[in-house]
Structure 1
């Protein structure tokens, strides 16, 4: 049996991912059925399985969509070799603004990935740990060089950043009193003020 017209249209894969992300964010991965995803996306199950072999593939692809961009941006920022203050500010700006731009997908990933325990999701979590360690390495090196004050461990400093960004989907609103750019700037100001080396 051939696919329906809805299944054959442009952007089908993106529609399926968008539907899955919204449902995972609203009601959780376990509570979401494949049928609910295809109903919301306006495709058939055959259309979904043409692009994704299983429901877990949807979560994995959402993770890649969200985190792949952040990891690529981190590598690009670090490759510029700028001073630690500029670099940390750029990282904070990217992760706040990037997360805000993909709020539904970020909510689905943050909520669900920690509960997944397959080999594939463990590899994705390893990428997240690599991201964290890169940020901590930046802070650690700057503290060792006396550029940043050693007022707190790199781990604690990094979690002061990640604690905000990984929960952004729970409190940030695009129509709220502050834009993502403003939040990023204030968070960077707060972190860097604490890290300013003092004579």
Structure 2
């Protein structure tokens, strides 16, 4: 019987590739193992994606598109700049359990963005995401709720602080993703807010902001 080469195969290949990159890294992932797991030939993988770099590009682009869709919902559903930034920070940590394999695969291989032409689309999407974070911080500054800061540096610090979470956050450990997110909210917003009277509620791992973020993740996935 001939191999099926429809879109379902493409999705399966990307899913197995993503899981293997999360576990073994890009260099430790190869077409032979993916093909063996799926019961297909390496030629089928090449038919769908061409090269390993293009598979990595598909991983990164699909990942960033999901994150952008969620972030846009978070910003739309939360009212103030402080709530919006808190929501984005919680989302950074919830990704560690909400989309674990893709998050680990993305975060451990993001350094390849710098010099891989095939990943240019992922670079643009990441820039769009950073612009969204900058916009939230800028609106907080303009409204007088946040102290003045270097928007570019602050957004990169925010993004970078979550970038390495895959190396230390354990989904099966004693701290939940919500609790880790609350610590990140306390750290970032504690340094930005002109008045910290509402910080405790924003940094509540069982609070309203977290609940909105959870709903946004589910809505974007659905």
Q: TM-score, normalised by structure 2?
A: 0.74
- Report how far residue 88 of structure 1 moved: 0.8
CA distance in structure 2 between the aligned counterparts of 1:140 and 1:39, rounded to whole angstroms: 50
Confirm or deny: 8 A CA contact 1:25 1:104 kept in the other structure: yes
| Mapped pair 1:79 → 2:76 | yes
Confirm or deny: 8 A CA contact 1:38 1:44 kept in the other structure: yes
| Mapped pair 1:134 → 2:142 | no
Change (3 A) 1:81 1:102: closer
Q: Which runs of 4+ in 1 moved over 6 A?
A: none
Map 1:113-152 to 2 at 5 A: 113-116=110-113, 117-150=115-148, 152=149
| Mapped pair 1:61 → 2:38 | no
- Report how far residue 138 of structure 1 moved: 1.6
Residue deviations 1:71-115, cap 9 Å, x none? Answer: 011222233471111111111122221243223222222233432
CA distance in structure 1 between the aligned counterparts of 2:34 and 2:22, rounded to whole angstroms: 12
Structure 1, 33-42 or 127-136: larger mean CA deviation = 33-42
Q: RMSD of the TM alignment (CA)?
A: 2.8
* Correspondence for 2:155: 158
Confirm or deny: 8 A CA contact 1:149 1:197 kept in the other structure: yes
CA distance in structure 2 between the aligned counterparts of 1:167 and 1:73, rounded to whole angstroms: 20
Runs of at least 5 residues in structure 2 that lack an aligned partner in the other structure: 197-222
* Correspondence for 2:167: 170
CA distance in structure 2 between the aligned counterparts of 1:68 and 1:37, rounded to whole angstroms: 24
CA distance in structure 2 between the aligned counterparts of 1:32 and 1:101, rounded to whole angstroms: 23
Residue deviations 1:119-172, cap 9 Å, x none? Answer: 44112201101211221122123113211122x422333233222321111111
Q: TM-score, normalised by structure 1?
A: 0.82
Runs of at least 5 residues in structure 1 that lack an aligned partner in the other structure: none
Change (3 A) 1:13 1:114: same
| Mapped pair 1:112 → 2:109 | yes
CA distance in structure 2 between the aligned counterparts of 1:100 and 1:156, rounded to whole angstroms: 27
Structure 1, 171-180 or 41-50: larger mean CA deviation = 41-50
* Correspondence for 2:37: 40
* Correspondence for 2:49: 52
